[in-house]
Amino acid sequence: MTAYSEYNPIVIFLYFIMVAGPVMFIMNPVLPASSLFGAVICFALRERREKDRSIAAFVLLFLLLALLNPLFHHNGVTVLFLINDNPITLEALFYGLTSSTMVIAVIFWFRSFSRLMTGDRLLYVFGKASPKFALMLSMALRYIPLFAEQARKIKTARRAMGAYEEENLWDTVRGSVKVFVSLAGWSLENGIITADSMEARGYGSGKRTFFSRYVFGKKDWLALLIIAVSSGGVIAGKIFGCLDFEFYPKAEGDLFSKGALLSYACYFVLTILPLIDRIAEREKWKYLESKI
């Protein structure tokens, strides 16, 4: 996803809004599956060395979310079997699979979003409309990895000092509480230092300006056009009822009507847009190499 990350931050921001929004608000079984496929590809293009245990954790989370719904919700007319006189229905299982796919897909999209939309890009997107909100958001996103790194340093220092005498639950909990207390003190001190530094530099004393190196090019306008057309197809499918689907009391809905298939195609193009961009950049590079 390196080539796609070079787009204008407004294009990237709108892309993630339009690719994650439909799957969050339209409960159609096909859209979450398509979204998860595109989200995994998008994340893999950016983070090729992601640890396997992270993927395993998402698989476990998917199974947990999918199984919880039929265990606690017994709506539906198609009973598969009984557990302690509680019916496990096909409709509840189908809804659980759909909702869990949606949750995992959205998590993957926002993981890619957090890696692409850095602080300076957020300042560029929100800077003119709300400079204070943009600064607050960029600082909040910056402090998340700082807190994680500082917590790791504190825990390592405590281990070096012999603070963890025994590897048991009580020792782990007590050590975690002390790490949290130290981290809270560090964060308050760091916040005061940041506030004093901003005041010393004159923040808030006049109209704020900022430098930006981002410009709109032809590729940005082309990407915006593709995003607009693809999103328009999905929105039109929702407005005209082509994407409507009912899970309870019986799964009902025409998943493969012409309007639904057109909306699926538009959304699928939207989800694999980073992959299309990567392939286009690779083919362009090969063409330029052949001209040398």
pLDDT at 289: 82
Supply angle C-alpha 17, 103, 73, rounded to 5.
135
Supply φ then ψ for residue 46, to 5 degrees. -90, -40
pLDDT at 106: 92
Q: Which of 250, 245, 246, 244 minimizes the C-alpha distance to 91?
A: 250
Round to whole Å and give the CA distance between 89 and 136.
46
Residue 283 corresponds to which tokens in the numbers above?
A: 């083919």
CA-derived radius of gyration, the chain: 24
Supply φ then ψ for residue 228, to 5 degrees. -65, -45
pLDDT at 121: 83
The amino acid occupying position 64 is: L
Task: Return the number of other C-beta atoms located less than 10 Å from residue 125's C-beta.
Answer: 18
Q: Say which DSSP state 29 is in.
A: S
Residue 54 corresponds to which tokens in the numbers above?
A: 């992270």
Round to whole Å and give the CA distance between 243 and 261.
9
**DSSP codes of every residue in 183-214:** HHHHHHHHHHHHHHHHHHTTTTSS--------
Domain ranges of the chain: 4-122+218-290, 130-200
pLDDT at 6: 79
Q: Are 112 and 1 contacting, i.e. CB atoms less than 8 angstroms apart? A: yes
Consecutive sets of 10 residues in the chain, 292 residues long: mean pLDDT of each? 72 92 89 91 68 71 88 84 84 91 91 81 76 72 79 84 66 79 85 82 68 80 93 92 88 87 94 88 83 78
pLDDT at 101: 93
How many residues are listed for the chain in this entry? 292
pLDDT at 165: 54
- 0.85 exceeded by the pTM? no
Round to whole Å and give the CA distance between 161 and 157.
6
Cis peptide before 249 (omega within 30 of 0): yes
Supply angle C-alpha 226, 280, 289, rounded to 5.
150
Round to whole Å and give the CA distance between 163 and 32.
47
Q: Are 24 and 106 contacting, i.e. CB atoms less than 8 angstroms apart? A: yes
